[in-house]
Each structure stands twice: as structure tokens, then as C-alpha cells.
Amino acid sequence: MVSHRRTHCLRPVFSRACLAGITCLLLSSVAAIAADSTLPAPNVPALRDGAAPIDIGELLDMQRHVQAVAKRVIPTTVALRVGQAHGSGVIIDADGYVLTAAHVAGAPNRTAQIRLHDGRLVYGTTLGVYRTKDAGLIKIKGDDATWQFSPMGNSAQLEGGHWCVATGHPGGFQDGRPPVFRLGRVLKREDDAITTDCTLIGGDSGGPLFDMQGRVIGIHSRIGKPLVQNLHVPVNAYRTTWKRLVSGDAWGQLPGEDQAFEPFIGVHGIEGSNVARVASVYDNSPAQLAGILPGDVIIRVGRQRVTTFESLQNLIKQHQPGEVVSVKVLRDDAIMDLTLKVGKRQTRIQ
Amino acid sequence: MNRRPFLTLAIFAFSLMLAAPNGFADQRDGASTPTRLLRDIFFNNRRSYQRNHWTITRAFAPVVQTARESTVRILSRGRQVALGTIVDTNGFIVTKASQLEADTTYEVDLGRGRKTRARRISEDRDYDVALLKVNAANLRPVTWSTVRPAVGAWLATADANSDQPVIAVGVLSVAPRQIPSPPTMLGVNFNPTDKGPVVTQVRTATAAEHAGLQVNDYILAVDGESVRTGNALPEKIGSYKAGERIQLTIERNEITLSLEVVLGHFGNNEQSQIMDDLGGNLSNRRIGFPLAFQHDSVLKPNQCGGPIVDLEGHVIGINIARSSRVASYAIPSEVLRNLIPHLQSSLTQNATVGAAD
């Protein structure tokens, strides 16, 4: 662990040193001492500043660096199977500690099947799970081997626009397919989650998000319907609770138990109006499947009367995702009875 | 922050606009209305961070310049169903076969107002590539490149004759490999009868359910071919690829009906359906290709069939499927170079030729 901290502490030095081309030599030598698994800071303005590349020359420079990152991080990405859960993970030190999502690890002391990037199968044991953040830890069994790894970075330093890469096993491990590589940008950083446009899907859960030096900055956790809503556990959730995770503690509740998975029907209305009139309906939403149309006024959900759009929101919150409720709507002066299956706002990926 | 008063004002000024019915328009659809533009500027700066934002794709304009001249739009009833790639000077064009329906005429938009009828020559069902022929001269064919970019390489997809030359950019996610083809599935249990198989169960989240097949329906024919006897139904279904469209002739309450079915595959279930629903618009025919590379460009199903290039502008393949939220597939140029002469030598309409190994 000490080496990660040192690597991380050196980072400000890296970015300042980048000002002069001459320091490139210095950079690589410093990096070599700090940890052989961290790439030198990118010497490309777009990657360094989290900005848009301006011409082909810069795109080419960017590509060269991104390909080096790919080469470095893909071999440290693993596929996991813990009980019924399939997911991904990343080896973060030579001893074989593997970061994953809490909803993949499940609980401490379970056996994990670990597929290395080349398909080799090894076994691990789940350690701590910090469910509130969806952070889980696994240790590869045995102490004699030295594992290729990607060190942890610092998620607190991320800003919107920073370039990042995601790897993982979308759809689960597939024989002959190495970990799948994606490039995107940080769209938002919050304490609970980093949002990027590195697209994720089931099977990616627990897989790593990297910065441009190949350091782990996040762990894939969940997605929203728009392709730009891919949420990652900030890596600092692991760093700040490291001892507890290593000791095999399990605490907190999965984000699934609160707002990310809140009941959802997919209508948009006008707040402050004196009726719950539907302004628009999301495509493929529970409301659309139930036959609710823009312009409908929702007057009852189950046995409860709906007065305003806010009252509709409150009523929906009282139902569980998956529950089927009857809905009365007023359409062109006619009252219609519809059947609505309540959905959830986000879907956890596995 | 001294920007705050300004922001507060902006929020106040546009809150009404946001409450308007179309004010929340999905971030994914590209139309830029004034409302949207203002909202993006004031409320949603994150949009400019997105990899597909014009501030990034514009840098790729010179990259797709040459490939663009070989990219066309395939139209059916005036609407774009796919992109196409010009493969020789005499009017041969390849595109994504399953985007074309049988017995329909197609037009090819060659740009600068030139539209012309296209004849369907042949197709390869394994790769889902169709060869079209138009009567037009002096077309600019693609130059296939056998450059093999490394994982992480930038890739760009050109649009035909629009103001925005680049549809999408992405990176190479996985080098060319076989994309497995699980067994095709309709999703019914049935009992054989003299009339034909009678449906005893329609499984959830399957092709049969989506198509509206019901218990007690008799399945008489698939694409006009009788499936009355023995195992004819599963055998016939197995001869198609997942994602292909078929016509089922059924009898329901003594009335004969025709149902259109987009076939699924084993492994389709409620979980896979949730994941597909989170993928945006996906191609129907999206798995099962003998060789394809995977990239993370976000395409629409009707944007497949055109060339995809690396940063040097080399055409390294054609996009063949939007497969999931994370994956688009493209057929490598080395495959197409062998495949196209086979398709050209097969002059009967709709003939199918085997894959070129």
C-alpha cells in the first residue's frame, strides 16, 4: 500500500514537470522508481487538461498514449464469479488484492472464481463489502505469486472533462474475448459516484475505470437509461476504508435500497399545476407500456386520489418497483382504467 | 464564485422553458433546438464533456473526408434504412442486409441530389452483407485497408452528404474475433397436430411473445413454407439467424393470420431484455458474425453499412451492427475484399453465397 500512496503523492510533481518537454526523461525515471505499473503523465494537452483535441496531430498523440494505457490495464482486469453473480474486477497490487463492486462480492468469506485476462482460472476469497458505496474487496488465494496490477489513483482529483478508460467483461466472461476496452470522459464527480460516458452493461460491474496514467479511479457500479449515465464507485471509497475492507467487515446498505432504485414510471409533468397532467412520457417507460399518453390527467393510483403532479410523485414512491397498480386517467373527457407496472429509475448492472 | 448571480438569473429565466413539455428532451437525440442549446449552455455543461460532442468530432472531419465520398444512404420510402459503401466505379454498393426488407424497392442517395433505384444482387447471411447495384457511373469506391489498429485506436464513422461529416467516433475495444451465434429461438412450446404445431406455451421475453403469438395458435408456415410435419418448425427456425425477420402463417380461432417475427436466440430472458432496453436503439441482427472487430462508437441501426476509418483515414471495415450499449461491430476490410467478388459473381437476385474463409 505504501507504494500507492507514494505514487499518488508524486502526481502534482508530474503535472508541473510536464510544462517543459525536457522533463520527460525525469518523468519516466521518477515513475520507474515510484511504481513500475504507473504510466508517465500524458504529454498531450487534451489528456492533461481534460479538454477536446483540436487536430489530427493531437488525436494521434492521444491515441498513442491511450493505446499504451490499454496495453497496461487490460492484463490487470479480471472476470469474477461469486455464487450466482457474474462481474468484473481489477488487481491493484502485487499481492493479489482485487477491487470489485459490493453487489458482485456479496458478502465476506465467499469463494470467487477469477478469470485472468488470458482466460486462466484462479480462485479468491471475498473480504470486506462497504455496501453504501457498492465497494467490495477480494484477495486471490495464495501468497507466493506476484500479480500484474494497476495501482489505485485518487478519485478526489477528478474533474469534468478528464479522459478515462473502462475495461471489464460486458455480458460476462466469454472464451477468447479479452477484457473489453472503452474510452470516455468524466462528466460529473460526486462523493458517491463518478459519472462517465464510458458505456457499461451487465457483466461490467466491479470492473475498473482508469485515469490516463493507468491508475484505478473508479469501479463500475450502475447505469441509468441514457448512454451517458454510467456510474462508478470512486476509488477513494476503498482507500479510506482499506483496513476495514481487508479485515472482512461488511457494512452499510447497497445503493439499491435507496434513491438510485427508487420506483419510477417515466412521466414528465408540470409542477405547480392543479392537476397531474402528463406533459411527456419516456420511451419504453412503465407509463408508456401502460398506455399513458401525453395530455392525460392522472386522477387515481390504486385507491388513492391524485391531485397535483407532486402528489403523483409521492404516491409512486409508496409503491415497490415491480408492483402492478391500477391507474385512472382522464383523456378527452373520458375516464380510462389502465394497468401500470412500476419500474425503477436505474438498473444495477452485474 | 462571482458567476453565481448570473447562473441564478439564468436558472430563473429558463425554468419555465424547462417545465415546457419538450423541455426535458432526452440527451441522446441530436436535434439542437434553441431551447436545447440554451439549456445546454446554462444547465448542462456536462454535455460538452461528452466524447461525441461536436467540439471533439469536428477534429475528425479531415479523417473521414475520403471515406465520405464512398458512403451513401440507402432509402426505403424516403427514409434512411442504412448506410452503404461504394465498392467499385460501376455502381456496386454493399450494405447491411437485414436492414433491407424483401420485395421492397430501394433508392440510393448518392449525394448532391442524385438519387437512383437500387437492385439487390446477392447477400451473405453469415456476415449480413448485401450487394446492391445502381446505374450510375464515376462513383468513388473505397480503398480497403488491411492495417490492423491496436486496441485503443481512434475510429470514426463518416456520414454521407450531410453538414456533419462525422456520425460517431470511438475506439477499438476488441480486435477481430468470431462473434458467437447462439441457437436461434422462437420461444414457444408446442404439440404436433395434423394441422401443424399448436402453441402450448409462449415464453416470456422471447421473439414469440414480442410478436404476439398466443397459446392455441396453430403454426402453419414459416416464410410460406409449410412446417406441419414432425420437427419441421424447430428445424426451419434453426436455419435462420437470431435477429432475422420471418413471416409466420398461423391459424387463430379458425382465421388465418400472418405475423411478423424478429427471431431471438437461446439465452433471451427477462434479464437480457432489461440489458437490451438499456442499450438504446440496437440492430435486430446483432450477434453471430464469423469475424468482426468491436468498437464503442454509438451508432443507430440505420447508420450501419458504411465505412469505418482509423485516424489515417484508412477504411478498415464496415459497420455491421449496433449490438449493445457497449458494443458496435464492424466487418474487417480483409474479409470484405474476399467476400465482395463472391457476391458480384452471384448474379441471380437474392442468391446467397457462403462466407469467404
Q: What are B135-153's pLDDT values in tens digits?
A: 998 899 999 998 999 999 9
Q: Which of B348, B307, B357 is nearest to B86 (CA)?
A: B307
Query: Which chain B residues are Cβ-neighbours of A270 within 8 angstroms?
Result: 19
Q: Which of A71, A72, A197 to mutate to test the interface with B (most CBs of B within 10 A)?
A: A197
Share of chain B above pLDDT 90, in %: 69
How far is Cα A324 from Cα A339, in angstroms, rounded to an integer? 7
The reported pLDDT for the residue numbered B8 is 38
Q: What is the DSSP string of B169-185?
A: EEEEEEEEEEE--PPEE
Q: Which of B129, B100, B62, B55 is nearest to B318 (CA)?
A: B129
Q: Is residue B76 pLDDT above 80, yes or no?
A: yes
Please tell me which residue of chain A has the smallest CA distance to B152. Answer: A67
Q: Which residues are CB-contacts of B211 (< 8 A; sequence separation ≥ 6)?
A: B248, B259, B260, B261, B262
Shortest alpha-carbon distance between residue A186 and chain B (Å): 7
Q: Which of B346, B21, B26 is nearest to A285 (CA)?
A: B26
Do A60 and B311 count as a contact with CB atoms less than 8 A apart?
A: yes
Q: Is A190 on the interface with B (CB under 8 A)?
A: no
Query: Which chain A residues are Cβ-neighbours of B27 within 8 angstroms?
Result: 226, 228
Residue whose grid cell is 460491474: A205
Given a cut of 50, the residues of chain A with pLDDT beneath it are 1-35, 259
Do B326 and A180 count as a contact with CB atoms less than 8 A apart?
A: yes
Confidence of residue B272 (pLDDT cuts 50, 70, 90): confident
Over B53-78, what HEC string results?
A: CHHHHHHHHHHHHHHHCCEEEEEECC
Shortest alpha-carbon distance between residue B92 and chain A (Å): 31
Q: Which residues are CB-contacts of A30 (< 8 A; sequence separation ≥ 6)?
A: A10, A13, A14
Share of chain B above pLDDT 70, in %: 84
Q: Is A118 on the interface with B (CB under 8 A)?
A: no
Do A171 and B324 count as a contact with CB atoms less than 8 A apart?
A: yes
Q: Is A62 on the interface with B (CB under 8 A)?
A: yes
* pLDDT tens for each residue of A148-202: 999 999 999 999 999 999 999 999 999 999 999 999 999 999 889 999 999 999 9
Query: Which chain B residues are Cβ-neighbours of A202 within 8 angstroms?
Result: 271, 275
Least confident of A249-253, A309-313, B38-42, B287-291: B38-42
How far is Cα B123 from Cα B98, in angstroms, rounded to an integer? 10
Over B130-145, what HEC string results?
A: EEEEECCCCCCCCCEC
Please tell me which residue of chain B has the smallest CA distance to A58. Answer: B59
Do A223 and B325 count as a contact with CB atoms less than 8 A apart?
A: yes
* pLDDT tens for each residue of A190-203: 889 999 999 999 99
Name the A residues in 164-183 with CB < 8 Å from any B CB: 165, 170-171, 174, 176-178, 180-183
Over chain A, what HEC string results?
A: CHHHHHHHHCHHHHHHHCCCHHHHHHHHHHHHHHCCCCCCCCCCHHHHHCCCCCCHHHHHHHHHHHHHHHHHHHHHEEEEEECCEEEEEEECCCCCEEEEEHHHHCCCCCEEEEECCCCCEEEEEEEEEEHHHCEEEEEECCCCCCCCCCCECCHHHCCCCCEEEECCCCCCCCCCCCCCCEEEEEEEECCCCEEECCCCCCCCCCCEEECCCCCEEEEEEEECCCCCCEEEEECHHHHCCHHHHHCCCEECCCHHHCHHHCEECCEEECCCCCCCEEEEECCCCHHHHHCCCCCCEEEEECCEECCCHHHHHHHHHCCCCCCEEEEEEEECCEEEEEEEECEECCEECC
Closest partner CB to B150 (pick from A67, A201, A280): A67
How far is Cα B182 from Cα B190, in angstroms, rounded to an integer? 21
Confidence of residue B34 (pLDDT cuts 50, 70, 90): low
Q: Name the DSSP class of B150.
A: P
Query: Which chain A residues are Cβ-neighbours of B52 within 8 angstroms?
Result: 197
State whether residue B212 is helix, strand or coil. coil
How far is Cα B325 from Cα B193, in angstroms, rounded to an integer? 42
How far is Cα B228 from Cα B213, in angstroms, rounded to an integer? 17
Closest partner CB to A59 (pick from B27, B52, B154): B154
The reported pLDDT for the residue numbered B234 is 94
How many other C-beta atoms lie within 10 A of the C-beta of residue A95?
15
Shortest alpha-carbon distance between residue A239 and chain B (Å): 27
Do A347 and B274 count as a contact with CB atoms less than 8 A apart?
A: yes
Do A279 and B174 count as a contact with CB atoms less than 8 A apart?
A: no
Shortest alpha-carbon distance between residue A72 and chain B (Å): 11
Shortest alpha-carbon distance between residue A177 and chain B (Å): 7
**What ipTM, to 2 d.p.?**
0.84
The reported pLDDT for the residue numbered A348 is 58
Do A200 and B63 count as a contact with CB atoms less than 8 A apart?
A: no
Count CA within 13 A, CB hemisphere, residue A293.
6
The reported pLDDT for the residue numbered A350 is 53
Q: Which residues are CB-contacts of B294 (< 8 A; sequence separation ≥ 6)?
A: A180, B172, B173, B174, B177, B323, B327, B328, B329
Q: Is residue B350 pLDDT above 50, yes or no?
A: no
How far is Cα B146 from Cα B334, in angstroms, rounded to an integer? 6
